[in-house]
């Protein structure tokens, strides 16, 4: 029992309600944002690289096979023009999509920071609580030693204080 007017304190962990940052970001996205993320996800795959490589290789092979009838003969100026158009259109779109996708990472980092902060706060509360318990245990131990020194005859006192589980002591009997 703690000393009168002295409290061991209460252990009350801080409240934290975990949230899913992915769902929060998804809910905040509008239709245009969803389109940009979908296109970024589709274009940013190796399948898109393979498809574009096949289209370009097919174009070049078809033009070479046509020989003199080719509408885009070597050095394939029209193919280069189309490639530049695709790049000019997709580059800003990919940048927008990547910015939108980075929101997920930022939201995840914020949620993780809140969780870690809560853990550190709880660890501090726990340590203060344990320190108060240690201090109270030391105080109660000193009171018990004083009682033993007062109530137990001197010839039995040293044995009792040295080994509390020895025969003849209160806990060892």
CA 39 to chain centre: 28
pTM of the model: 0.53
Q: Write down the pLDDT at residue 172.
A: 52
pLDDT for position 100: 87
pLDDT of residue 19: 81
* Higher per-residue pLDDT: 80 or 24: 80
Calpha distance 101→37 (Å, rounded): 7
What number of helices (H) and strands (E) belong to the chain? 5, 0
The whole-number average pLDDT for the span 60-85 is: 93
pLDDT digits 0-9 by tens, 137-163: 999 999 988 888 888 888 887 777 776
């Amino acid at each position: 029992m703690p000393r009168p007017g002295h409290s061991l304190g209460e252990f009350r962990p801080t409240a934290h309600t975990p949230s899913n940052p992915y769902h929060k970001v998804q809910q905040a996205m509008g239709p245009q944002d969803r389109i940009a993320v979908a296109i970024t996800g589709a274009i940013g795959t190796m399948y898109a690289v393979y498809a574009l490589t096949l289209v370009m290789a097919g174009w070049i092979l078809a033009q070479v096979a046509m020989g003199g009838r080719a509408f885009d003969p070597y050095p394939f100026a029209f193919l280069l023009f189309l490639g530049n158009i695709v790049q000019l259109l997709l580059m800003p779109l990919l940048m927008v999509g990547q910015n939108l996708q980075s929101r997920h990472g930022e939201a995840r980092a914020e949620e993780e920071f809140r969780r870690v902060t809560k853990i550190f706060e709880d660890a501090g509360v726990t340590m203060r609580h344990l320190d108060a318990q240690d201090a109270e245990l030391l105080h109660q131990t000193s009171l018990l030693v004083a009682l033993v020194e007062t109530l137990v005859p001197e010839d039995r006192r040293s044995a009792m204080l040295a080994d509390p589980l020895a025969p003849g002591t209160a806990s060892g009997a």
